[in-house]
Amino acid sequence: MSARAQRPAPPAARAEPDAGARLRVNPIACEAHGLCAELLPERVRLDDWGYPILDDRPLTPALVAHARRAAAACPTLALALERDRSSKNQ
């Protein structure tokens, strides 16, 4: 896991290897505050009405902590990190 070792560690980072996880937004809960696009521009852009359009690719190790922070910052808790669908079993 050399990629993990190189990952910059932001303050709230927990040491979980969530590489391969994906972002998912609950479109019913989302109210277009737009913080996610501020905090994770690598994977989130806003449409013309301010709602996030997520890049569906799995997160790289370097982005996981930032994605986690973006999810935590969402005022309506609409953004979540999900395990890769292939391993999702709920």
Binding residues for other proteins (CB under 8 A): 26-32, 47-51, 53, 90
Residue number with CB closer to other proteins (3 or 82) = 82
CB of 25 to other proteins, least distance (A): 8
Q: Which is nearer to other proteins, 31 or 84 (CB)?
A: 31
Judged by beta carbon, residue 9 or residue 56, the one nearer other proteins is 56
The distance of closest approach from Cβ of residue 52 to other proteins in the complex, given in angstroms and rounded to an integer, is 9
Given a contact cutoff of 8 angstroms between Cβ atoms, the answer to whether 68 and 15 are in contact is: no
The pair phi, psi for residue 80, each rounded to 5°, is -140, 155
Residue 73's Cβ-count burial label (10 Å; 0-12, 13-18, 19+) is middle
- Spatial distance between the Cα atoms of 73 and 84, rounded to a whole number of angstroms: 22
